[in-house]
Amino acid sequence: MTRQTARRSLGALILVVMAASAIYGGGFFGLRERFSPPSSRTTASPFGTAVDQDAAPAQAASRRSQPYWVPVSRFKGTGPLTTPVFAIDRRAIQWRVRWRCERAAFRIQPQRPSGEAYGHQLAGADPCPKAGVGQSVAGGQFKLDVGAEGAWQAVVEQQVDVPLAEPPTPAMTSGDSRVVASGRFYDIDEKGTGSVKIYRERDGSTSLRLGGFYVTPNVDLEIRFSELERPKSTRQVARAPFKDIVFLRATAGSMNYRIPPGALSDRVRSMVIWCEITSNAYAAAPLRG
């Protein structure tokens, strides 16, 4: 086998692995549910230390989120650079580099800490100025060999499906904030569990916290405030006055969100997890003061 043929074969294999990872990570054909990874995948935070303290142990060990991206490292420069080593969790589904270059030729080649080139270039097909994304699937330690003749930026992110484990914000735990409403989720068209608390903070702003939360995974699920006290169907939710608040960053774990000014009125009676793609109310929680 010639060196050129070997490179072509390696490139084809990498493309096949990335395609399989995308299909698995996106949950197509129910593969993520049918072929679950070990339960330890869901007990660790993508940041390596935090654990979802609001979830029961059985929940933390068995429930996965719709895949989402978390930051790993950020680099920038004005010429050639070999970045410091960064770590990709070996349980991550995949990782990517989002890059931007301003002038002349530009390339990014992943390396192992030893300096050995790994896989294919993540940037370098087109001349700058340009922005793009390069993806890889292997875990472990890497650094980036960047070739550039002008200013550039690169953000490394990894895609995970562990529950998102955010602690309450300092504003939520200060003595100057108070819980003005709370509730627990119940099923409508899909599964939904966990709690929600609405906080009014010292400056008058409002935020919400989902605790020990889980909803059937799907992309682009959103939080919606409804004037219904306890909606029982998608039809009821769709016909009643509502206000869209924010998209869910993850479908499992404990997480915090800012509420847009004016969104929390005296008419709000419940929170709904809504899927605009399928026009379905997945789950809801009554909000009581």
Domain range summary for the chain, segments of one domain joined by +: 1-35, 68-160, 164-286
Residue 63 pLDDT: 80
62 falls in which pLDDT band (50, 70, 90)?
A: low
The answer to whether 68-160 and 164-286 have equal CATH topology is no
* DSSP states along 88-118: E-TT-SEEEEEEEE-SS-EEEEEE-TTS-B-
CA distance 128 to 107: 10
**pLDDT per position as a tens digit, 137-196:** 989 999 999 999 899 999 999 999 999 999 999 999 988 899 999 999 999 999 999 999
Work out the burial of residue 266: count CB atoms within 10 Å of its CB; fewer than 13 is exposed, 13-18 middle, 19 or more buried. Answer: exposed
Compute the mean pLDDT over every residue in the chain, rounded to the nearest whole number: 84
**Is pLDDT above 80 for 33?**
no
272 falls in which pLDDT band (50, 70, 90)?
A: very high
Q: Give mean pLDDT, residues 268-284.
A: 97
238 or 15, which is more confident:
238
The set of residues, in sequence order, having a beta carbon less than 8 Å from that of 100 and lying 6+ positions away, is 130, 131, 152, 153, 154
Which tokens go with 182? Answer: 């709370």
Which tokens go with 218? Answer: 């799907």
34 falls in which pLDDT band (50, 70, 90)?
A: very low
CA distance 273 to 254: 15
**Is pLDDT above 50 for 208?**
yes
**What DSSP character marks residue 28?**
G
The set of residues, in sequence order, having a beta carbon less than 8 Å from that of 116 and lying 6+ positions away, is none
DSSP H helix total and E strand total for the chain? 5, 18
State which CATH number among 3.40.50, 3.30.1490, 2.60.40, 3.90.1750 fits the domain covering 164-286. 2.60.40
**Is pLDDT above 60 for 28?**
no
State which CATH number among 1.20.1730.10, 3.40.50.300, 3.30.2320.50, 2.60.120.1540 fits the domain covering 68-160. 2.60.120.1540
Please state the pTM of the whole predicted model: 0.74
Determine contact, residues 155/98, Cβ cutoff 8 Å. Answer: yes
Q: Give mean pLDDT, residues 19-24.
A: 44
Strand pairing class (186-187; 280-286): antiparallel
Determine contact, residues 230/284, Cβ cutoff 8 Å. Answer: yes
Q: Coil, strand, or helix at residue 235?
A: helix
